[in-house]
Homo-oligomer: A and B are copies of this chain.
Amino acid sequence: MFVPTIMGQATPEQQAQWLPRALNMEILGTYAQTELGHGTFIRGLETTATYDPETEEFIFHSPTLTAYKWWGGGLGKTVNFCIVVAQLYTKGVCYGTHPFLVQIRDEETHMPLPGVFVGEVGPRMGFHTADNGYLGFDHHRVPRMNMLMKNAQVLKDGTYVKSAKHGKLSYGTMVFVRVELVYEVAFNLAKAVTIATRYSAVRRQCQPRPDQPEPQILDYVTQQHKLFIGIATAHALQFTGYWLWDTFARVIGEMKEGKTDTLPELHALASCLKAVSTSDAASLIEQCRFACGGHGYMASSNLPALYTFVTATRTYEGDYTVLLLQTARYLVKAWEQAEEGKAMTPTVSYLVHSAYNRKAKWNNSCEGITRAFYAVAAGKIEASVNSIRRRMKTGLSFEDAWELTTVQLVAAAEAHCRAVISDTYWKETERMTSSSSASVRSVMRQLNELFLVYWVLERTGDLLMYSTISGKDVIALQQRYEELLSLLRPNAVGLVEAFDFRDEILNSTLGAYDGRVYERLMEEALKSPLNAEPVNQSFHKYLKPFMQGKL
C-alpha cells in the first residue's frame, strides 16, 4: 500500500527522497485513511493537519476518539512511517483531505514519537497476522515537505495552491487496487476449489449398491453442482480481471495524454466488478468448505482462512453496496443519455438496443444467453429509472427518490455486472481457445456454458420478466445443466490441476497433491499444543476439583 501511494501522490523530488528508502525496507510504511468513525465517507474524516508557518510544520491532531485512524495494516507494532490522510487547514481555512508522510516511531528505538498514540486493534475474524493498528495524534508536528504535493501544495507562507490537474486523477490508485482485487479473489477461489475437488476425489461416502465400494463424493451430482461452478467462476473472474487490467492500462495511458473521458466508465466498471467478484468468490469459497463437510471446518484444511481472508475484501477498498450504487449512478446517467440519443461508451452501448434485445427471440446459445443478460440489466435499469421518476412526481427531490430506490439500483448494477462478466468470459473463452486443441476447446466451452446456464437458472425470474425465455426453455436448460455436470466430471480433477498450485501455496490437509487427507489431518492434530502432555494442568487445577464437587 505504501509504495504505490507515494508514487501516485508525491512530487518527483519526494519520490527521489523517500522511494529508495521504502524500497530498501529501511522505512516500513502503511496507509492510514479510515478512522474509527469514518470509512466510506472520506470527506467526514476528522484528523486535522494544521499548517504553522512559524515553524513550517503541520500539526497533526485527533480532536475526538472517532478521529483515531483504524485498520492500517502493519500499523499496530511494525511500521515507522505512515501516509496519513487528514483535513488540511491553513490560514484558518479547511481545504479538505490530503495525504501526508508522517513518521510515527523512532527509527532507532522503535518507540512511538511524542504526541503519537499507536497500537494494535485487537483480534479480527481473519488476517490474524496483519498487525492492523490504530493511530491518534496530540499536536504531533511534521515538516511541511512531508505533504505529498503532486496534486496540491502548501507554500512556505501557508498559501494553498490547488492542483492544476484533473481532480479525478487521484482515482488512479483506488481503481488500481480494485482492479487487482478481481484477480486476487479469482486466485483464492481457484485455491479453494482445488482443495475441495481433490478432497472430493479422495473422500468416499455411502453405498448406493451393496456389492460395490463407497463412491468418491465427486461422483455425486449435488457435489458437482457445488464445485464446478466454482471452477468456472475462477476462470470467469480471471479472464474478466485480465480484461479489466487491459482496460485500466489503456485508460491510464489516455489520461497521461490528457484524455479523461473514459475514466468514469472505468470507475463504474471497476466498482461493480470489485463488488461482485469479491462477494461471489467469498460465497463460492464458503461453498467449497461446505462441500468438505466437517473436515472443511478444520483450520488445517485452509478453507476457513481462505474464506475469512476473501470475505474481508467484500468490505475493504469500497463496500459492496456502496460500490454497486456508484455503478448505478453511472448507469442511470447512461440510460438518460441513451434516451436522448447521445453516443454511448462501449460497456453501456447495449442500453441503446435494449428494446430490440428484449424482443429478440430467446435462444439457448451462449450468445443468446449473454444478450438476454444485457436485456435483464437494461430492464432493471429502466425499472429503477421509472421508480425514481414516479417518486419525483409525488414531489420528492431526485436524491430522496434515488435513496428510496436503492434496493432496485443495487440489483440493477449487479445485473449489469453479471452481463459484463458473462459476456467477457464467453468472448475471451472463444478468443483464447481459437488456437487450442479440439479437446481443450471442448472442455473450456463446456465450463463456459455451465457458467452461463447456471446463471440462467439462478435468474429465471429476471429472464421471465425481461426476455422471451419460456418455462419450457427453463426445463430444457435444467436438463442441459445436469448434462454438463456429467460431461465435466471426468475432467474435474484435471481442471483444478491446471491451476498448478504447489502444496505450499494451498497449505491444506485436504488438498495436497498426494491425497494423504487422513494422515495429514492426524499429523496436524498431533501438533496441537494441547496434545503436548497427556493430562493438562487444567485437570488438576479446575477439572478434578469440579468433578469432585469441590469447586
Contact = CB atoms under 8 A, between A and B. Distances in A.
Interface of A: 24-28, 34, 36-41, 43-44, 65-66, 68, 70-71, 76-78, 109-112, 119-126, 131, 134, 204-209, 214, 220-222, 225-226, 286, 289-290, 293-294, 296-300, 304, 307-308, 311-312, 314-316, 319-321, 325, 383, 387, 399, 403-408, 410, 459-465, 471, 474-475, 478-479, 481-482, 485-486, 518-519, 521-522, 524-528, 530-531, 534-536, 538-539, 543-544, 546-549
A525 B122 CA distance: 5
B522 A36 contact: yes
Contact of A315 (B44, B68, B293): B293
B399 A120 contact: no
Q: Which 5 A-B pairs have the closest CB atoms?
A: A460-B461, A461-B461, A125-B304, A123-B299, A120-B530
Given A36-B522, A530-B76, A530-B77, A294 B460 contact: no
B518 A293 contact: no
Contact of A547 (B28, B38, B404, B407): B28
Contacts of A474: 461, 465
Contact of A518 (B37, B225, B312, B534): B37
Contact of A36 (B126, B460, B521): B521
Contact of A299 (B125, B463, B522, B543): B125
A463 B465 CA distance: 11
B119 A535 contact: no
A450 to B, nearest CB: 12
A297 B299 CA distance: 18
Contacts of A403: 208, 220-221
A208 B399 contact: yes
Contacts of A307: 125
A85 to B, nearest CB: 16
16 contacts: A25-B547, A34-B294, A36-B521, A37-B518, A39-B205, A70-B521, A71-B294, A76-B531, A119-B526, A125-B307, A134-B525, A293-B315, A407-B481, A460-B461, A460-B465, A464-B471
A70 B536 CA distance: 20
B528 A320 contact: no
A538 B407 contact: no
A205 B538 CA distance: 47
Nearest to A459: B461
Given A40-B293, A77-B538, A405-B482, 17 more contacts: A25-B546, A34-B294, A36-B521, A65-B522, A68-B522, A77-B539, A78-B543, A111-B535, A120-B525, A120-B531, A122-B527, A123-B298, A222-B321, A290-B314, A293-B315, A404-B486, A407-B485
